[in-house]
Amino acid sequence: MKISGRWTTALVVSAVLLASVPLFALDRAFQAYIEGEASDRLDAQATGALKLVEHRLDQASKVIRGLAAAQLESCGARALEAMRLAVFTHTPLKGLSLLDDQGRELCNHIGEMLDAYALSEEYPLHDKSLVLAAARFRDIDERAVRLRFERASGRSIAALIAIDALLPDFDLEKINGGRRLRLLFTSGELIAMRPNGDESHSFDEGAALSVRKSSERYPIVMVGEFTREALGQEFSGLQLIARGAMLVLIGFGAGFIWMAMRRNGQDAVAELRRAMRAGEIIPYYQPTVDMQTGRVRGAEVLARWRKPDGALVPPANFIPLAEQSGLIFELTRVLMLKAIEDLGESYRDRPRLRLAFNLFADHITGSRIVKDVNGIFAGAPIQLSQLILEVTERAPLPDLDEARRVIALLQTSGVKVAIDDVGTGHGGLSYLMKLGVDIIKIDKMFIDAIGTERYSQTIIETLVELGRSMKMEVIAEGVETFEQVSYLQQKGVTEGQGYVFAPPLPASSYLALVEAMERPKTGTAQPVEALADVA
């Protein structure tokens, strides 16, 4: 029997009316559920953030107690050396200083007296020898927390802890400022807020969920807040699914099955695996350059995803997925094999050229990378002695002893190993001391600050001196101006990488640069500035 349009309309309207009552009840129940879920998440986030703050303060307390025990009373060479080493080896510390009995700074780890910040009211801890205060820098829009240890002699040792180390940038921006964390003293004075914004703005009473976590050891409180408006935005997709679930009960199951099948077809891991097998993951090569002669020393291999339409996907959009899914091993093999295909003939004729690949924490928790490297480059025109494997410092290595074993196996094969992003991550000086690497790569963050931030320049000089004393090569990353080149040359850094020389290049362009920068047999050294024109 054929149903008329009028009856079809009537059936649809009836179905909508019948569904509206349970949907309304479901919405009310679901609203209560998501508020409970959001409160639990907010509570966990505030608790975790408070534990991190307490841990950082514990670290700083341990450092300044150790310095106090060392009887550092004056700003002599021994005191400055001890403070500098402590700042370099403890990531949370922004600075250390000795204070006189009036609380005035005698010197800091840089060796100068700087009236660089203003302090809030000081708050004593349960241990009366320790006091805590907020510090606001005068010349830059930046804050820190100061922990001061009072000694019987009257002189104090103070540690500055960076706010970013206490309260990192949480992923809160995507909900338009509707969620935030605030770190306060128990008096209510604000120390820091994430995300950064208008500190005077308060959420209307009743318009936001709020949790408050107080420290039992420090005079601080962590407050987490989540507006109901943002709550609705974040859980809007879940509300739609709940309504869809009710519609399933009245006959729309097929639609959900179709959506699930479509979602599975768009699985990101499967798409990345397909791209690797289709040859869409390709290497780009960013040259490293001898800053004294202008000659190309080699290149770092950087992954790019070239879609069938020619569009390039940057690595930040797929490398984290490869790491999380375990595809990073296959991706690294793809890059190595393609690099041999691209550069093999040129590198065979130029044994001085080097080729660097990035490794991640999982790469050096077993011997798999050693087998991969030896297997891929055995008999290849690119020799093992031309390889550099760069271990990033941004992710923690779970087992330093195991990492040292794997690195030693690679070095036995002739491969050189570098620590990448030095000074920005988890390892600090301990990685350089324990892993036995061959090369230090100074992170772009410190290069960018040349000429504007004296602390960064001090770190660069310290790393160069460490490299010299530990017989390690030093390479500067992210070099973008000739002024930076000149400064690095003066400090003894001979090798650099960055856009002042060349951006990451496809194989053909990199090989053309190598050819163009070859030293003439009877000529003299190429000037560094010439690279910018060639690239």
- 137-184 pLDDT, tens per residue? 877 778 889 999 988 777 889 999 988 888 876 554 444 557 788 899
Three-state secondary-structure class, residue 85: helix
Alpha-carbon Rg for the chain, nearest whole angstrom, is 29
Residues of the chain with CATH 3.20.20.450: 268-507
For residue 271, give Cα distances in angstroms to 302, 360, 439: 20, 22, 36
The answer, yes or no, to whether residue 264 has pLDDT greater than 70, is no
Tokens of 334: 């793809």
Q: What average pLDDT does the segment 240-248 reach?
A: 63
- 121-141 pLDDT, tens per residue? 889 988 778 999 998 887 777
Which uninterrupted H or E stretch holds 457? helix 454-469
Residues in the chain: 535
- Predicted local distance difference test score (pLDDT) of residue 324: 85
Give me the chain's average pLDDT, please. 81
User: What is the value of pTM for the model shown?
Assistant: 0.51
CB neighbours of residue 280 within 10 Å:
17
Q: What average pLDDT does the segment 411-418 reach?
A: 93
The span from the first CA to the last CA of the chain, in angstroms, equals 75
The answer, yes or no, to whether residue 19 has pLDDT greater than 60, is no
Higher-pLDDT residue of 350 and 6 is 350
The answer, yes or no, to whether residue 114 has pLDDT greater than 50, is yes
CB neighbours of residue 9 within 10 Å:
10
- Predicted local distance difference test score (pLDDT) of residue 419: 86
Which band of pLDDT confidence, cut at 50, 70 and 90, is reported for residue 462? Answer: confident
Three-state secondary-structure class, residue 179: strand
Higher-pLDDT residue of 294 and 239 is 294
The half-sphere exposure of 257 on its side-chain side, counting CA atoms within 13 A, is 5
The answer, yes or no, to whether residue 189 has pLDDT greater than 80, is yes
Which uninterrupted H or E stretch holds 246? helix 236-247
78-82, 95-99, 447-451, 510-514: least confidently modelled range: 447-451
Which band of pLDDT confidence, cut at 50, 70 and 90, is reported for residue 199? Answer: low
- Predicted local distance difference test score (pLDDT) of residue 113: 66
The answer, yes or no, to whether residue 192 has pLDDT greater than 80, is yes
Which band of pLDDT confidence, cut at 50, 70 and 90, is reported for residue 209? Answer: confident
58-72, 304-318, 421-435: least confidently modelled range: 421-435
Higher-pLDDT residue of 281 and 195 is 281
The answer, yes or no, to whether residue 527 has pLDDT greater than 60, is no
- Predicted local distance difference test score (pLDDT) of residue 444: 86
Higher-pLDDT residue of 422 and 163 is 163
Higher-pLDDT residue of 127 and 339 is 339
CATH number at 268-507: 3.20.20.450
